[in-house]
Structure 1
Amino acid sequence: MGADHSRAAPPTPPGVRRILIVTVVPLFLATLVAALVLWPRDAPRPEAGDDLPRYHGTVTRVVTEPCPPNPAVPEGTPTTAGGPCGTVTVRVQDGPDAGQHVDTPIPAGPGAPSVSVDDDVILVSLIDPEDPAISTYNIAEHQRGTPLIWLGVLFAAAIVAFGRLRGLAALAGLAASFAILLTFVLPGISAGQPPLVVAIVGAALIMFVVLYLTHGVSAQTSVAVLGTLGALVLTGLLGLAATNATHLTGFGSEDATTLSMFRGDVDLHGLLLAGIIIGSLGVLDDVTVTQAAAVTELAHANPNMSRRELYRSATRVGRAHIASVVNTIVLAYAGASLPLLLLLTADSRALGQIVTSEFLAQEIVRSVVATLGLIAAVPLTTALATVVTTAGRRRAGANAAPGAPDDVAVALPRPATDRAETLQALSTPRTRHTPPATRSEWPEPDRSTDTPW
């Protein structure tokens, strides 16, 4: 009788299951306790400023005209305004002038929106300080709500269409990540809590919720959780050492400088470390889940692989993954920092001075530390997954071959065949070779190899 290859992956042995529970559950409880201790109870609320009233409107007409000459300008400057000049007629959709058409000047200057007929725009009402009864409108920007909603619908539909139930779980995990960031991490840092500690606790909380919600409660997911948590801690320590060694202050960007003006009590050095950890989490869980799944698939494809062979095979997969992820990280940071990179081309200082300046050294440290954390996640997760996957494969001493390694799954001996049956099989004429089974004949082609608890 042939072997049955349609069976699912064997369950995790009870001993390994208990070890995972004893390891993961205390870490999860410790994360919850730390989150409750650090939870922002007195987070500062934004003060009510003198924001200008904003109303929605639709452009109905655009009339351009030559710009008037400047009254008195220094020698060598243009004699006309920068433009464009003219009038935009907008139908107001809400507010005290809803339904009316108002005239506004064409937006001009750096960053001004370019408007045309039928564009949905946002108007700001300007009140004359000398006569409050007089008000005028200016176009501030375009309305982006509807395009963003349709883009979000397309994003969710594509994920659900491809991932089905797993896609729904991924969307729920994404919502949970934003909820933790908006209700714990950002308010906690604003309340004066240490940014590094808040980032580690918040990242761990996101990791537990997202991984178990998306991939289910299994030994494979638990291995990915442990690998991600270990790599996160290592990334935080490396980031702390690197920022101290390079004497980074956190004032390497214009946003950080602006934040220091409004919130002088925020630790910008810790905020830099928090950004490194939060930014690394998204790629870390990708690497750790992939490594845990690769070990499980390799072990199922060849149950006779030793732990060493399984580890080496999965590590080769990890090397290919890291090689592509490193390029992804560098390109992601480069894409987000294109204005900074273009600014370097206009800088007349020497290259050594530019590279060692605060604003560029900060990006280098961010990229290098995140990459080192990813590299460390591969062997750590692969080793844990190898031990968990191969646990319980040893056979009893009566079935074990003499001198066989402990971590090799020794095949069971074939049952003895009767001599008469053997002679009959040898004397039976050969039959025509049958074609190999098609893919549809393979048992359970969509079988999941997630190891159940």
Structure 2
Amino acid sequence: MSHSHSHATPPSDGPPRRTLALALGAVVGVIAVATLVAMALLWPASEDVPQAQDPYAAEGVSRVPAVVESVRAFDCGGDGLGPDQTQARAGDCAEVTAKAGDETATFTLDPTRWASGMKVGDEIQVLRIAPDGQPASWEFYDFERGFPLAAIAAVFGLLVVVVARWRGLFAIAGIGVTLVVLLSFVMPALLSGTNALLVAAVGSAAIMIVVLYLAHGVSIRTTSALFGTLVGLGLTAVLGAWATDWSHLTGVASDDDRLLAAVATSADLSGIVAASMVIAGLGVLNDVTVTQASAVWEMRALQPTASRAQLFASAMRIGRDHIASSVYTLVFAYAGSAMTILLLVSAYSQSLTQVATSEEIGSEVARTLVGAIGLVLAVPITTGFATLLAPRGEDVPEPGPDAVTA
């Protein structure tokens, strides 16, 4: 007589667990309602949001599309000194003629702009300056980038949908949700002087609750990733506030920061630095938490007899590899965004210590480190949630001495 033991691999989401699903749904519902209430309480009144006048929208000033018709270089005596004896690029200037509707626009490019390149046929934007009773004068404003950027976005969206299908489409919808929350709630609240860290945490939580379920579906697995993400967000917010205060990051590192301080007098620039640490880490944090939750579920499907401790240990081996690659992602992303500043300080031949501790680079260093700490802590936390919420392993008895296998 022969005996055989057959153990079918359960689906990755495991058998239906209605009681647990309802309990987790109630918890997520409470979190979502609390987030909405917090957003409502923090939502700034329209009169509290500063509205500065566009410097290029003054009376008699307008932006006009144009096409370059001719470019002629000439010696303008550029000696490398700008206003207040600041360093500027030396070299020739260029006289440019462009067709702006029914008018012909003529303007001069300084050596820096001219060296960057402009040729006949380029589509540009020019400023038409026409005070009352005076003839119009023209200035170069920028290149037209609408069509190239729209085309790149279209290619991106198409590839995401073709490769990821419905999940890709929902992920793109999640990007839309993110932009809506940032532009309609987070940015106005920060400008109005509302507690920056609280605004960033609440706004980020709202984004993650919607985006995670939208992109990955409503399931216990997604809920475990959400729990890990929310805990990671909270830790990142606390670390961001501490790092900003301890490092004396004021948020005033460039001319743009000074302009913002003048326009939004109620805004807490130091708090905005801490808030940026929370928002900047959202993408990588979401990445590691979803990956860890998925890893736990897939390993449970492949190892139905593994204990929770074994499941946790296996998932953490994947998590450690993911931590290493994600830390590099953060570092390279911030290095790329601050490349101009890094090149400038390198040209000044400053020491690494001077560079790393300056306001501009120091804020990026702190943002990278805080984001990295947040994601490192999120890996074991998410793995723990996923291990607890994953389907239970099958209890398979060890074969007895008289058991015969076929």
TM-score (norm 2): 0.86
| 34 and 24 in structure 1: CA distance in 2 versus 1, 3 angstrom threshold | same
**Distance in 1 separating the partners of 2:373 and 2:77:** 59
1:104·1:139 contact (CA, 8 Å) conserved in 2?
no
Please, which of 63, 66, 70 is the counterpart of residue 57 of structure 1?
Answer: 66
Can you list the C-alpha shifts for 1:388-430, whole angstroms capped at 9, x where unaligned?
A: 1144x5xxxxxxxxxxxxxxx222799xxxx9xx9xx9xxxxx
Tell me the residue number matched to 2:25. 21
| 295 and 39 in structure 1: CA distance in 2 versus 1, 3 angstrom threshold | same
Can you list the C-alpha shifts for 1:329-369, whole angstroms capped at 9, x where unaligned?
A: 11111111112222332446655444333333322221111
Shift of 1:387: 0.9
1:107·1:114 contact (CA, 8 Å) conserved in 2?
no
**Distance in 1 separating the partners of 2:77 and 2:358:** 43
| 32 and 351 in structure 1: CA distance in 2 versus 1, 3 angstrom threshold | same
**Distance in 2 separating the partners of 1:152 and 1:354:** 35
**Distance in 2 separating the partners of 1:142 and 1:250:** 30
Tell me the residue number matched to 2:245. 244
2:330·2:368 contact (CA, 8 Å) conserved in 1?
yes
| 66 and 200 in structure 1: CA distance in 2 versus 1, 3 angstrom threshold | closer
Give the counterpart letter for 2:67 in structure 1. Answer: T
Shift of 1:25: 1.6
Tell me the residue number matched to 2:121. 118
Tell me the residue number matched to 2:371. 370
The question of 1:262 aligning with 2:263 is answered yes
| 243 and 413 in structure 1: CA distance in 2 versus 1, 3 angstrom threshold | closer
1:12·1:219 contact (CA, 8 Å) conserved in 2?
no
| 85 and 8 in structure 1: CA distance in 2 versus 1, 3 angstrom threshold | closer
The question of 1:67 aligning with 2:67 is answered no
Show structure 2 runs of 5+ residues with no match.
82-89
Please, which of 108, 111, 129 is the counterpart of residue 109 of structure 1?
Answer: 111
| 413 and 359 in structure 1: CA distance in 2 versus 1, 3 angstrom threshold | closer
| 4 and 302 in structure 1: CA distance in 2 versus 1, 3 angstrom threshold | closer
Shift of 1:4: 7.3
Tell me the residue number matched to 2:395. 410
| 12 and 376 in structure 1: CA distance in 2 versus 1, 3 angstrom threshold | farther
Correspondence 1:32-431 to 2 at 5 A: 32-42=36-46, 43-47=49-53, 49=55, 50-51=57-58, 52-62=61-71, 64=72, 66-67=74-75, 82-86=91-95, 88-93=96-101, 98=102, 100=103, 102-111=104-113, 114-127=117-130, 132-347=133-348, 351-391=352-392, 393=393, 409-411=394-396
2:10·2:304 contact (CA, 8 Å) conserved in 1?
no
Shift of 1:41: 2.4
TM-score (norm 1): 0.78
Can you list the C-alpha shifts for 1:184-214, whole angstroms capped at 9, x where unaligned?
A: 0001111221111100000000000100111
Give the counterpart letter for 2:98 in structure 1. Answer: V
Show structure 1 runs of 5+ residues with no match.
74-80, 394-408, 426-453
Can you list the C-alpha shifts for 1:16-55, whole angstroms capped at 9, x where unaligned?
A: 3243223222111100110111112223333365542111
Give the root-mean-square deviation of aligned CA atoms: 2.9
| 240 and 116 in structure 1: CA distance in 2 versus 1, 3 angstrom threshold | same
Shift of 1:241: 1.7
**Distance in 1 separating the partners of 2:53 and 2:342:** 35
Q: How many residues align?
A: 385
1:54·1:125 contact (CA, 8 Å) conserved in 2?
yes
2:240·2:275 contact (CA, 8 Å) conserved in 1?
no
| 69 and 274 in structure 1: CA distance in 2 versus 1, 3 angstrom threshold | closer
